[in-house]
Chain A
Amino acid sequence: AQSVAQPEDQVNVAEGNPLTVKCTYSVSGNPYLFWYVQYPNRGLQFLLKYITGDNLVKGSYGFEAEFNKSQTSFHLKKPSALVSDSALYFCAVRDGSSGTYKYIFGTGTRLKVLA
């Protein structure tokens, strides 16, 4: 069965510092991995995805994520955090080998960037 874990409910970081939001996954086949961001009272917005190839994926707003197959992780990173990055972040996985249309989402991590 597919699953996604976001071990931290909240991450606090000072503005200008690097940030990491953690995600680990479990699928039986090839993982398709996604990060989404949700600002208050809004729907989710797509940030980036990993399908295959280079383990470092670059996305919107200066975010990037590193796929690590041996650790089954897909952590979201940004070199220098902005106050405007404060939001709720979701990791999601889809099993690329199963033919299912289902995406499994993590429980979300609230990022708070302090000025």
Chain B
Amino acid sequence: DVKVTQSSRYLVKRTGEKVFLECVQDMDHENMFWYRQDPGLGLRLIYFSYDVKMKEKGDIPEGYSVSREKKERFSLILESASTNQTSMYLCASSFALISYNEQFFGPGTRLTVL
């Protein structure tokens, strides 16, 4: 079974802090994604990566950056955390060569910014 793990389930940070969210997948997937989930808004794509060192902006990239130095690891960085970034963050991965493959999700990180 594909396993996608995220470094923390719950995280509390202060405004202005730099925050790192880590995601690791063990199935050699090319594609990796970061979403944030907010009530009533569903999942919104922040960034995705289709290969090592390759990234593309999603729908809401402002205030975020990403890093993919190794195929299995995709990091989301909040450069200077703000209270409006309090949310559930979900990482996902998928196999790229078959374009209709489903995504596999991690358990999520619930981030609170005070």
Q: With A42-B108, A101-B31 as given contacts, are A51 and B42 in contact (CB-CB < 8 Å)?
A: no
Measured between beta carbons, the chain A residues less than 8 angstroms from B107 are 41-43
Interface flags for A34-54 (1: CB within 8 Å of B; 0: not) read: 101000011111100101000
> Are B102 and A49 interface neighbours, CB within 8 A?
yes
Q: Which of B31, B50, B58, B100 contacts A51 (CB 8 A)?
A: B100
Which residue of B9, B43, B44, B58 has the most chain A CB atoms within 10 A of its CB atom? B43
One of A62-70, A78-86, A105-113 at the interface: A105-113
Identify the closest chain A residue to B43 (Cβ): A105
Main secondary structure of the interface of B (DSSP, over half): strand
Number of chain A residues whose Cβ lies closer than 8 Å to a Cβ of chain B: 24
Interface flags for A73-115 (1: CB within 8 Å of B; 0: not) read: 0000000000000000010001010010111011110000000
Interface flags for B6-36 (1: CB within 8 Å of A; 0: not) read: 0001000000000000000000000101010
> Are B43 and A102 interface neighbours, CB within 8 A?
no
> Are B96 and A46 interface neighbours, CB within 8 A?
no
Identify the closest chain A residue to B42 (Cβ): A107
Identify the closest chain A residue to B110 (Cβ): A41
Q: Does B90 contact A (CB under 8 A)?
A: yes
Measured between beta carbons, the chain B residues less than 8 angstroms from A106 are 42
A-B contact pairs, 12 of them (CB 8 A): A34-B102, A34-B103, A41-B9, A44-B43, A90-B42, A101-B50, A102-B48, A103-B33, A103-B103, A106-B42, A107-B40, A107-B41
